Structure 1
Amino acid sequence: MDPSTNPASSEAEPSMLVDRYLPEYDVTEVRHAVVDADPETTYEAMLTADLLDLGPVVRALGRLRDLPVALSDWLRGTAPEAPPDQLRFADVPETDEWTLLDETPGEEFVFGAVGKFWRPSIEWRQVDPEEFVTFDEPGYAKLAISLSVRPFGENRTVLSYEARTATTDARASRNFGLYWRVISPFAGYLMSRALDRVATDAETRARQAHETTARSVETGEQPRSSWTRGRIAAMAVLVLAGTYHFLVRPWHRRWGATDEEARKSLPGDDLLAGTTRQVTHAVEIDAPPGEVWPWLVQMGQGRGGFYSYDWLENAIGADIHNVERIVPEYQDLEEGDVVRLAPPDYPLSSPESAPEVARLDPERALVLRPPGESPAWTWAFVLEPVGDDTTRLLARMRSKPAESSIGPLAGRPRLLDAVDYLFWEPAHFVMERKMLRGIQRRAEREATTEPRSTA
């Protein structure tokens, strides 16, 4: 079922417990699944399904959501909390953040939370069930989740998952609206995967109960059939993963760059000591360095943009506007100046969203890095002339890998490595490739429309 953002347009069943705790809301997300098991078995499976076992995509999304906290712990040298071995819906209300609001055993289970969910590290507010309905302190959002089962014919059940969110004032509504635009597709996917997990567990329990009383040739062959399908799916995943790791990833990490350009030292490499990851992209521009340089100098949020997919950047609230001309008032840039990646009031703002100019060599190199003595990355743009009217523009990102044997990350899964591998590397390639081609197009257009002076 599609999510709704207009509670007045649809009326929930009056018997739903969730209506008592959050009858009016800004956003609701609803998912249903038909389960081949009786309601009692489905309800038990619903409460006991392991939410940490929803597949690699969900694990990656969870690690991505926890990344700001992990980075904060790492930078402060604070030991993070050990992750739980399992997480069930039945256990969620026992956490510090969530509260069990109500339950009709065998029918509906409702829990909720109050917090500023849009913050990089969520600011939770503990409230009792009786306080949840009337809580209206400005700056917060209330989230109520209902899990319910309904009979659907003989030994079949409709399993429902509904999440409702209401904000307490206009500012919280704006912040949550921006956050929701980014997170809603992932929230819907997570809900669907949770229902799939519950349905699978419930149907397995129902089948096992049936097999204890009567076995047939068909039910005896079913596990072998399921095992074969699982083996084929696993092989397909391995082939795709191997193709990406050994072919696609090496290609996009040095897109456009020659072997020599990818290996050689560039300005700014010395700013990040120790073992680092390095990605080098390049493009050749039919214009001299002096005509490419102004486009680099005016980059930044609130300045000339980044010449990439601004519609995608603005979809997450970065407020980027790419210019199509050289703007004189944006040409004044010095070492120590800030080149913002997002507005100062960005909900997910961090020191890394406001890097500083670490090196500035006119018509040669511009190097950015986050503030602080030990930056997490450097981003260099280097111009190399090729003849009189051609320039190689190189973009190099260097970053520190997560060391599982150092500091608060000791003994933990390499969270930062996984997020970098699954998300940041491909995303950085897509956006930077568009950026380099955007600079190329603008510089070459200016070079062909403006006559060059001759000696």
Structure 2
Amino acid sequence: MSEQRTCRQRPGARLLPLFAASAALALYTLRYRPRLLTWGATPDETTRAYPGDELVPEADGTSTMATTLPAPPEEVWPWLVQMGGDRAGWYSWDRLDHYGEPSADRIAPEWQNLEEGQRLRAARDGQSWFTVARLEPNRTLVLRSDLSLPSGHSFDPQWDPLPTARIDGIWSFHLRPTPEGGTRLVVRTRGHGRPRPLTRPFDLLLWEPVHFIMQARQFRNLRTRVGAQA
């Protein structure tokens, strides 16, 4: 009799992990994901348009995160303009995005020259990079990334044939002075992936959480560096 009861319970027991996973995914999607995508930003900052948004007009993924730094924009800008894998680093988790080498803790004059169209290396082998798409000193820096999948190598959409599977996106930095003499730094991402059935799960389960972790770390490290300089 007990064996029959056990057999009858098995189908339901097998569904429990599926129900638990579905509930966890729903909780993350409805409650936590919106907070991660707008971490630190005000409603006005998340809804307004910024330079560079037009580069990805049909974005199927976006985030707007923000922080306040203890120095005016003209003192924050030199830290941003020297970013790059072969330059000052990205001020985030260096083991993940700077080959384990520490990001710069000083402003280096040799890295202060930046211009639109310039490439900033994102991988040690030079196969992945960001392109400077918009540049307005002390105000706006827009980096563009076009990646083929699954290699993750960059391509130039102006000259190279478009890969069947790809992700196009921007990573933009917008600086505004605060009344207290600091800087409001708003960071926006916009992405467009194809084919969507492939890139959507990647965005939801990997890219968005990783971006939150990396961006929050960058905010923290920038605040430390800018504060020490100030």
Shorter-chain TM-score range = 0.7 to 0.9
CA displacement, residues 265-287 of structure 1 (integer Å, 9 cap, x when unaligned): 01111122234421111111121
Q: Does 1:422 align with 2:205?
A: yes
**Counterpart-to-counterpart distance in 2, 1:356 and 1:435:** 19
Unpaired runs of 5+ residues, structure 1, are 1-216, 405-413, 448-455
**Identity rate of aligned residues, in percent?**
37
SS of the equivalent of 1:281 reads strand
**Counterpart-to-counterpart distance in 1, 2:37 and 2:8:** 42
**CA distance 1:319–1:336, shift in 2 (3 Å):** farther
Residue aligning to 2:71: 287
**Counterpart-to-counterpart distance in 1, 2:118 and 2:5:** 69
**Counterpart-to-counterpart distance in 2, 1:401 and 1:264:** 23
Provide the TM-score with structure 1 as the length reference: 0.44
Residue aligning to 2:119: 338
**Counterpart-to-counterpart distance in 2, 1:240 and 1:276:** 23
Residue aligning to 1:18: none
Q: Does 1:303 align with 2:87?
A: yes
Q: Does 1:400 align with 2:192?
A: yes
Residue aligning to 1:441: 224
CA displacement, residues 328-363 of structure 1 (integer Å, 9 cap, x when unaligned): 1111111111111112x26xx3xxx21211111000
User: What pairs up with 1:155-170 in 2 under 5 angstroms?
Assistant: none
Q: Does 1:378 align with 2:162?
A: no
**CA distance 1:238–1:281, shift in 2 (3 Å):** same
C-alpha contact (below 8 Å) 1:278/1:398 kept by paired residues: yes
**Counterpart-to-counterpart distance in 2, 1:303 and 1:219:** 67
Name the amino acid aligned to 1:425: E
C-alpha contact (below 8 Å) 1:301/1:319 kept by paired residues: no
Residue aligning to 2:149: none
Report which structure shows greater RCO (CA 8 Å, sep ≥6).
2
C-alpha contact (below 8 Å) 1:286/1:391 kept by paired residues: yes
C-alpha contact (below 8 Å) 1:313/1:320 kept by paired residues: no
User: What pairs up with 1:21-420 in 2 under 5 angstroms?
Assistant: 217-313=1-97, 318=99, 320-343=101-124, 345=125, 349=127, 353-370=128-145, 371-373=156-158, 376-387=168-179, 389-402=181-194, 414-420=197-203
Name the amino acid aligned to 1:279: S
SS of the equivalent of 1:376 reads strand
**Counterpart-to-counterpart distance in 2, 1:300 and 1:277:** 24
1:372, CA displacement in angstroms? 2.1
Q: Which has the larger radius of gyration?
A: 1
**CA distance 1:338–1:275, shift in 2 (3 Å):** closer
**Counterpart-to-counterpart distance in 1, 2:80 and 2:172:** 11
**Counterpart-to-counterpart distance in 2, 1:248 and 1:277:** 16
1:415, CA displacement in angstroms? 0.8
**CA distance 1:233–1:388, shift in 2 (3 Å):** closer
**CA distance 1:246–1:226, shift in 2 (3 Å):** same
**Counterpart-to-counterpart distance in 1, 2:192 and 2:95:** 29
**CA distance 1:276–1:419, shift in 2 (3 Å):** closer
Provide the TM-score with structure 2 as the length reference: 0.85
**Counterpart-to-counterpart distance in 2, 1:439 and 1:241:** 32
Q: When the two structures are aligned, how many residues end up with a matched partner? A: 213
Name the amino acid aligned to 1:446: Q
SS of the equivalent of 2:103 reads coil
**Counterpart-to-counterpart distance in 1, 2:190 and 2:7:** 49
C-alpha contact (below 8 Å) 1:280/1:395 kept by paired residues: yes
1:437, CA displacement in angstroms? 1.6
**Counterpart-to-counterpart distance in 1, 2:22 and 2:42:** 30
**Counterpart-to-counterpart distance in 1, 2:21 and 2:8:** 20
Q: How large is the Cα RMSD of the aligned pairs?
A: 1.9
SS of the equivalent of 2:79 reads helix
